[in-house]
Structure 1
Amino acid sequence: MTEKQTCGQSANYICSNCGKRLFAWMMAKGSAEYEKAVKERKTSLFTNLHGNILEIGPGTGPNLSYYPQDINWIGVEPNPFMHSYLREAAEQLGFNIDIRTGTADSIDASDNSIDTVVSTLVLCSVPNLAATFREILRVLKPGGRFLFIEHIAAPSGTFLRRVQSTVRPIWQFLGDGCHPDRETWVALEQAGFSKLNYEHFEAPFPIVSPHIMGVATK
């Protein structure tokens, strides 16, 4: 490997870390309005939770306040710059958490060990949706649930869809890999859950206003 190649790799690593650090800061400081807009939906979705709860991409911990205190919470968060925000949020709530550095397509959990998997604004950024759903199905107990709220692509051919596709490169950098034009619902329907119920709704935020929320059962 040449010195030029080594310098190039180092620069890419530094650039990637800067992007991840920036995204963690943005999520910690700039998500209050979004959380206010989806509070009622999260309250209705995160009901009857018990046992082992695994959240993929928990970010800075906006969902922690919805969980009962007696669950065993595991968070799989690949962005290490999120971890300090997560711990701070948990400490303020008096909540015990288990943070694991990993990715959604290779979850650090045993087969058939999780009662509920939670994902909010995560599936837009995973590298491989099909592999992620296989992992979710693997770790869920039979009858276990996957709860999700995700922003998705606007309908094909619309002006918003064209905007989403145009801004995708810069959006991915600023959003730690986020795809604003991902057809997540298509992959969900093909994932192999025994039961899938979801609805479309609009959130009051430009570019990523189209959303889905629902429950998939193993």
Structure 2
Amino acid sequence: MTIHSKQSPPATARRTESPDPPVAVQVAEVVEVPGAGEAFDDHPVRGRFNSAFFWAMGGYINWHLRHHKATAFADLPPTVVELGSGVGANLRYLPDGARLIAIEPNPHMHARLRRAARARGVDLEIRSVVAERIDLPDASADAVISSLVLCSVRDPEAVLAEVRRVLRPGGRFSFAEHVVARPGTLTRWTQRTLRRPWAWVFEGCSCERDLAGSIRSAGFSSVDLAPYRIRSPFVPFNTHIAGTAVA
């Protein structure tokens, strides 16, 4: 993957294209790039709560999603852009010695994300911007990933347009997201009933988005996704999709 920015020199995209042996990953520094952060609602309670919640519950959530994530995030390149990296739930799916450009506007996530990256040997760069305005050049990324993010952004269509913009032709957008349930089901009724308190607690998270439809209509050259269901006490959260879209 090649990211052209002030902070990053060009790097080769795929391991098969580089004759050089792998080098040790440097994780001592994390570059935080400001900009567009004013669009993020940094609530003093919710931001801290969500950081602590996903740190505490990350293992439980990943246990339910692990097989679908492992398929969607297989064979990622050495450098990956992630939308909403949170506290680092997806670091385990990155290749050894990976570099992660984390689009994470919630500042309360950053300390835990840094620690998790150091523990996993991931070279981390945090960009404190919202996903509707990713501060990367056009056609500069080989891979963008997201999980449990498109439900909470303000404008998922704008985010998907940004993903297409930063991906090079043939680049991958891999995702694992929770989505609206089928009409007439108990899950759908629960999503509708709890939508307001759920959104308040989880920083705007909506359980009523047809993200499969949004991704299919976003202009990718191909989309391969599968719906699935988990069984958890968090009933509005139990309907999901995972897959890959190619720019």
Aligned counterparts of 2:69 and 2:237: Cα–Cα separation in 1: 18
Structure 2 letter corresponding to 1:20: G
* Residue 14 (structure 1) shift: 10
1:165 to 174, 192, 202: 192
Task: State the percentage of identical aligned residues.
Answer: 35
Is the 2:99–2:122 contact (alpha carbons within 8 Å) kept by the matching residues of 1? Answer: no
Residues 83 and 214 from structure 1, CA distance in 2 versus in 1: closer, same or farther, beyond 3 angstroms? same
Map of 1:215 onto structure 2? 244
Deviations 1:80-136 (A, max 9, x none): 100011001011112210011011110021110000000000000010011011100
Structure 1 letter corresponding to 2:245: A
Aligned counterparts of 1:15 and 1:95: Cα–Cα separation in 2: 26
Residues 201 and 34 from structure 1, CA distance in 2 versus in 1: closer, same or farther, beyond 3 angstroms? same
Aligned counterparts of 1:184 and 1:121: Cα–Cα separation in 2: 11
Residues 15 and 145 from structure 1, CA distance in 2 versus in 1: closer, same or farther, beyond 3 angstroms? closer
Is the 1:104–1:132 contact (alpha carbons within 8 Å) kept by the matching residues of 2? Answer: yes
Structure 1 letter corresponding to 2:237: V
2:207 to 157, 166, 180: 180
Structure 2: give runs of 5+ residues left out of the alignment: 1-39
- Alignment of 1:128 onto 2:155: yes
Structure 2 letter corresponding to 1:94: G
Out of 74-83 and 37-46, give the one that drifted further.
37-46
Map of 1:74 onto structure 2? 101
Deviations 1:28-64 (A, max 9, x none): 1122211112222222222221143100001110110
Structure 2 letter corresponding to 1:143: G
Is the 1:152–1:182 contact (alpha carbons within 8 Å) kept by the matching residues of 2? Answer: yes
Map of 2:223 onto structure 1? 196
Deviations 1:124-156 (A, max 9, x none): 001001101110000001100000000101112
Aligned counterparts of 1:83 and 1:101: Cα–Cα separation in 2: 9
Deviations 1:1-33 (A, max 9, x none): xxxxxxxxxxxx999221111111101112221
- Alignment of 1:143 onto 2:156: no
Out of 39-48 and 81-90, give the one that drifted further.
39-48
Map of 2:128 onto structure 1? 101
2:44 to 13, 17, 21: 17
Structure 1: give runs of 5+ residues left out of the alignment: 1-12
Aligned counterparts of 1:14 and 1:156: Cα–Cα separation in 2: 31
Aligned counterparts of 2:190 and 2:143: Cα–Cα separation in 1: 35
May I ask how many residue pairs the two structures share in their alignment? 206
Q: What SS does structure 2 have at the residue aligned with 1:73? A: strand
Residues 165 and 143 from structure 1, CA distance in 2 versus in 1: closer, same or farther, beyond 3 angstroms? same
Is the 2:98–2:122 contact (alpha carbons within 8 Å) kept by the matching residues of 1? Answer: no
**RMSD of aligned C-alpha atoms?**
1.6
Aligned counterparts of 2:66 and 2:131: Cα–Cα separation in 1: 24
Aligned counterparts of 1:142 and 1:51: Cα–Cα separation in 2: 17
Is the 2:148–2:178 contact (alpha carbons within 8 Å) kept by the matching residues of 1? Answer: yes
Map of 1:6 onto structure 2? none
